[in-house]
Structure 1
Amino acid sequence: MHLVNMKMTPTDLKSFPSIYQAQAFDDFKVGHVIRHGCGRTVTEADTVLYCTLLHQAPIYTNRQLAAHHGYSALPLHPYLLFSIAFGLTVADLSERGGAFLGVDRLSFERDAYPGVTMRVISTVLSARKSKSDERYGVVCWQTRATNEHGDPLLTFERVNKIPTRAHLESMAA
């Protein structure tokens, strides 16, 4: 392949079509249920890499130790499952921006093992206008991750500032 001397030119980013799936604050109504994508199968490699990079916990990387503690196989790290579940919600809930305000009531319901396919559903618990910035609303969701059989794996509540439709339209203009 022959490389040519290419000059980079500035690009007007507003000329690109939006790829966002996330909704505006105005679209989130209490009780609204969002099913996030087609799920994600979690592998042993996922948990070993997670533990190697972020949390050295031998029970998730050592089969003998896991068996000694009564696990039937190498378990998946629960915070890895949480991270994946949270990540699966971003495109639908908060991708358009706004501050992440926190997670509360994180509960792990059962152990999970390599090969589990997580499915994630969020329900709007509350939605109100921001008191500090009228361009945003504050939305709280309860997110529930289940395995392929519908058995609960984990639940958590999450709060974000979400831009209003008017603010999104003003940014696009």
Structure 2
Amino acid sequence: MTDWTDPDAVDLSDEETFETLLDRAETREKGHYFEFFEPGDELTHDPGLVLSKAGSEDWMGQTLNHDPAYWRPDRARDRGFEAVPVHPDYLLACVMGATVEDLSEKGGYFLGRDDVTIHRSPTPGTELAVSSTVVETTPSSSRPEYGIVTWETVGRNRETGDRLVSYERTNMIPRREPTATDGSGTVTDSGDGEDESTAGPAVPDTLVTPEGGHFEEFRAALNRADETDAAVAYAHERGRTMDDGLVSGLPLSTLNTARQHHNRDVMTDSPSGDIVAYGDVTRSIALAHARSDEATYREWRYDAERFHDFVTLGDTIYGFTRVLDCDADAGPERAGAVTFEHVAYNQHRTPVYSGRRTALLQRSHR
């Protein structure tokens, strides 16, 4: 009888021998299928990252978020922070990254996030405690091999229990067994109105651009637009091309182990044909383009975040912004709230991300 504990009993470097063993071996899988999730289930994600100065600065540098309040103590104090905080995009990515192994490592499309709220601005050294609750599970009517799952995720300060960030996230998740579907996917007729195939898109004839980046200048632009039946909307000049550091490096630094960001072998046969960017990297780059044209005081909340197309290595991400509202009564005396709709688009002018963001912008007077 062969002693299989003997290291010389079998030559694992022999290709034929190894291939035979590999065919017989059971693969120990990571992640969960759609059937695992039930509404009301609570999952605690461990380990949680310790937020770091180096991690925050690397995220900001790579995504072009060059806001000095997240680098320099004097500028942080000027914005009302007691100490230099980590960047909110890095915080959000770390909270979501810690959930990937339990929620979405099996793959599937990241459909979007809603009700994203930054509750507190933590400093480097804060240890995260992250948990998720299953909100809803729905079979996919168009893709029998997938289901749709929505979770509410909360990232807390592990030491104090304080909420740092919370959101609802929706993903398509592979099923262990495909479900039956009629596959109809029919499009219903709206009945009346113009034929959409011949009518042009409903866009304003005139677009207004703010003259500067302060709150008053955004409010003045909205007032001008209201008087002329226009919209306040503009594009941002900068672009950022997706390289290996963005597509694989930044997700790994946030514990995002999803195969679609790292395993080119698996992704060759996927609809994208290659590894794809972490949605939070694409989003952060688009918001960085917008922030570079604003006098941002503080990030506040985000909503209706949707991902529309794949972003792969070599794609270049640009930003487009529409201004939706200005609220002079929100925030401290030196800032006002502005609500935006941001779009990330690629070199083919195809939208790949969209979302609403409310931020406090500095007023022009001191």
For 2:134, the aligned partner's letter is V
- Displacement of 1:15 in angstroms is 4.3
| Contiguous gaps of at least 5 residues in structure 1 | 1-5, 168-173
Q: In the alignment, does 2:170 pair up with 1:159?
A: yes
Structure 1 residues 76-85 or 59-68, which shifts more? 59-68
Letter in 2 for 1:151: D
Seen in structure 2, the aligned counterparts of structure 1 residues 30 and 66 have a Cα distance that, compared at 3 Å, is same
Cα shift at 1:14: 8.5
Partner residue, 1:66? 76
How do 1:1-20 residues align onto structure 2 when only pairs under 5 Å count?
Answer: 15=25, 17-20=27-30
1:132 alignment partner, one of 122, 126, 142: 142
Q: Does 1:37 align with 2:46?
A: yes
1:105-144, aligned counterparts within 5 Å? 105-144=115-154
Equivalent residue runs for 1:50-89 within 5 Å: 50-54=59-63, 55-89=65-99
Fraction of identical pairs, as percent = 32
Larger Rg: 2
Tell whether the 8 Å contact from 2:47 to 2:98 is kept in structure 1 after alignment: no
Aligned length: 161
Q: Deviations over 1:47-91 (max 9, x none)?
A: 111111111111101111112222111111111000001110110
Which letter does structure 2 place at the counterpart of 1:87? Answer: G
Tell me if structure 2 keeps the 8 A contact 1:142–1:157: yes
- 1:38 is displaced (CA, Å) by 2.6
TM-score (norm 2): 0.41
| Distance across 1 between alignment mates of 2:137 and 2:57 | 38
Q: Partner letter of residue 174 of structure 2?
A: P
Q: What is the RMSD computed on CA atoms of the aligned residues?
A: 2.1
Match of 1:131, SS state, is: coil
State the Cα deviation string for residues 107-155 of structure 1 (Å, max 9, x = none): 1001111111111100000001101111111000010000022110000
Residue 147 of structure 1, aligned match among 154, 157, 180: 157
CA distance in 1 between partners of 2:153 and 2:23 (Å): 33
Q: 2: distance between equivalents of 1:98 and 1:71?
A: 38
Hey, what does 1:171 align to over in structure 2?
none
Runs of 4+ in 1 over 6 A off after TM superposition: 6-10
Structure 2 spans left out of the alignment, 5+ residues: 1-12, 179-366
